[in-house]
Structure 1
Amino acid sequence: MVTIYDVAKRVGCAPSTISKYITKHGYVSQQLGQRIALAIQELDYHYNGMARSLSTNTNNRIGIMVPFLNHPYFQGLVSAISEAATAVNKEVIIFPTKYDINREKHYLAELEHQLISGLIITSHALPYQEIAQYKRFGEIVFCETLADESVKSVNINRYSAFIDLFKTLKKNVKSNIGFLLIRPAKQSITTRDTLKAYQEVFHSPIPSNSIQYHCCTAPDGQKAVAKIIKKNPQLQVLLTEGDASAAGAFKYLQKIKHDHIMIIGQGNRLPSQLLNFSSIDQHITQIGQKAVALVLDHSARKKEDVSFNIIWRK
């Protein structure tokens, strides 16, 4: 493999001069630059940008640890973080984990070895305390509510939004509620917060015949709501975990003339706006912007707060 020293030998100058020419950091005369360019072409030399990034500690990359990319919430959050990072000229590397702790450890090693300068954790399987140990290698920001003041986080208050939602439904005598969720409670903070808030307001657990899991897409929503209606024909409200599955359920209920059932999605995305059903605004853009600001901030600032709120329609 041709190295920078081979180019320097061909030109008859110091390797540092070749580096100045390649990186545009430092003065190299036009005549010498032409000789360097010719030597690079003749030797077929390829500049190792990663090596320079590591050696000079000017790494410009931010990692995003995300469990799934087919989940509407995480899709939106990765997009929001990427846009916020690009706006400040930072590169983004996406690390999908599927909640595999070995993958999470592997990606944490990327931070340890300075292959990234910071890491944003959208969700994780490893205990946060274990992940936080890596903050000595770079900035780590969690996108979840953490009481630990030593850890950087964007505190997301989804639970209070669910409490407000169920209180409003109870006030309007709507207690027969169906749920289209993505993952069971053991695997999902969102599901745990949903079940806990329902229990808090209605003083009873959600009936098992009113819940369907693995609902991400519009077809998922159509199939799942059909199963719930079959088991619970008196359904009054349907709460989904995303606007895509809500849109599928909405269209199915229209088809079978059950459009009196209130649909509530999550995300406040285009489907809920076009079909005019209610949705929980997760303020994903704001979460992404705050997470990037924290990962780039080397001061003592540790916490940012974002609250969900309900967009009532109809």
Structure 2
Amino acid sequence: MRVIFAGTPEFARVALEQLHAAGFEVPLVLTQPDRPAGRGLKLQPSPVKQWALEQGVAVAQPRSLRLDGKYPDEAAAGREAILAAGADVMVVAAYGLILPKWVLDTPRLGCLNIHASLLPRWRGAAPIHRAIEAGDAETGVTIMQMDAGLDTGDMLLVERLPITDTETTAGLHDRLAALGGRMIVEALELAACGGLRPVPQPAEGVNYAHKIEKAEAAIDWALPAEVIGRRVRAFDPFPGAQTVLGAEVIKVWSATPEAGEGDTPGRILEVDERGVLVQCGGGRLRLGVLQRAGGKRLPVADFLRGFPLQVGAVLGAAA
């Protein structure tokens, strides 16, 4: 079976590597254009492109595949590459481009998407983050037959994973990426023998997982401790939950909820080797790993050696 692969980040690279290891022929990889990254803002290839170049697989990076869109020449070149690949199926994982109907209809078996959610619970760009932020007890991977809608296609395979109460997006991402890679191999093996059984998504329980914005990083200490704690875990590694103390920006990477009421939200109540205890709108949070702007993540004891925090100070109060 010949497989075109469309994806961009590490989540997608894991699946591509699994397909290759399982013996599927990948004549073409589609991925996002190189982006500036790092302190020098040099153009960097995506994880998927890096893997493809290492393996000698052809790569196309159109900014659009809409033939009537903003980049018609790039879309036309992408169409030529897709047609020339003669693929049986396209596998899509966090690609970042909307696929027009002509793409969906080109491969014999259509386009299969690896979606990191139990559809239709979280459709959209950030299902891993939003599942943790919402306090979901479980998530999973859905292999979906793509259609013209946004994550609305029929479900082909579904597997579930529990979300622990200490789970971060970084850790859950890695578990879901490994699961997605295994499942897409299984899905293509079933597709080869006509063994896939499409199931329409339920009409109920649809939520949209909006893209994570940097503005969401600011901690609102008036919220309940449980809510803030989930956001700390959901925004690890990006954008990182943060607060201010005067003019100093402090990122919070570990926050454990505790009981306790009756003080100003954001006020520091205790500072010791167990962490920094902060009052919230409901309950309290014990902060265990902190980071100053331009610094490294540090356990609280190490952080306090370079930047002492005082009982009674109020976090979230800018200078």
**TM norm. shorter chain > 0.5:** no
Greater RCO, CA 8 A, separation 6+ = 1
How does the TM-score come out when normalised to structure 1?
0.32
Structure with greater strand percent: 2
Structure with greater helix percent: 1
Q: Highest CA radius of gyration, 1 or 2?
A: 1
